[in-house]
């Protein structure tokens, strides 16, 4: 499992560390960790809807912050459970850009066991950093 939940950071929220060799893998793993808090069985999500995303931020840290909040937005506003299918992250003159494809389906209470309602990613102990092994993120979700 490329992420681990942590009980030592926030007692009323959910925290996790995610790590990966590449930035794209880190974003995928952090997205799965975030979605796993909200829905019990990610493997049961049918890939019937596709959403294209394009985000730009000043650095990798804020880009992941926006990306995870985008997933939460789609869950709340569109009732969609989405998982990253393809992600490309690149540097440009305006910062760091993510282009990607998310796939999933509308929440079906008969099929999806929803657990915790995540409201947002918080800045509490939030961090994304490059390491000798790749990338590491610490994320706290407001629930």
CATH code, domain with 58: 3.55.10.10
Domain count, the chain: 1
Q: Is the pLDDT of residue 9 over 70?
A: no
Residue 125 included in any domain: yes
Residue 7 included in any domain: no
Distances (CA, A) of 24 to 18, 97, 113, 137, 142: 12, 11, 28, 12, 24
pTM: 0.91
Q: Is the pLDDT of residue 6 over 80?
A: no
Tens of pLDDT along 18-53?
999 999 999 999 999 999 999 988 999 999 999 999
Which range marks the domain in which residue 20 is found?
13-142
Q: Is the pLDDT of residue 8 over 80?
A: no
Residue 5 included in any domain: no
Tens of pLDDT along 54-110?
999 999 999 999 999 999 999 999 999 999 999 999 998 889 999 999 999 999 998
State the CB neighbour count (10 A cutoff) for residue 73.
13
Residue 38 included in any domain: yes
Residue 1 included in any domain: no
Q: Is the pLDDT of residue 3 over 80?
A: no
Residue 114 included in any domain: yes
Residue 6 included in any domain: no
Residue 4 included in any domain: no
């Amino acid at each position: 499992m490329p992420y681990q939940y942590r009980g030592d950071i926030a007692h009323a929220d959910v925290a996790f560390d995610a790590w990966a060799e590449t930035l794209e893998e880190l974003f995928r793993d952090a997205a799965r960790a975030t979605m796993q808090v909200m829905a019990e069985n990610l493997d049961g999500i049918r890939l019937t809807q596709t959403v294209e995303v394009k985000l730009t931020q000043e650095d990798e840290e804020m880009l992941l912050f926006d990306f995870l909040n985008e997933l939460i937005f789609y869950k709340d506003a569109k009732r969609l459970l989405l998982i990253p299918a393809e992600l490309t992250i690149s540097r440009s003159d305006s910062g760091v850009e993510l282009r990607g494809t998310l796939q999933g389906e509308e929440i079906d209470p008969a099929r999806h066991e929803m657990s915790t309602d995540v409201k947002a990613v918080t800045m509490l102990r939030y961090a994304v950093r490059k390491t000798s092994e790749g990338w590491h993120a610490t994320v706290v979700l407001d629930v």
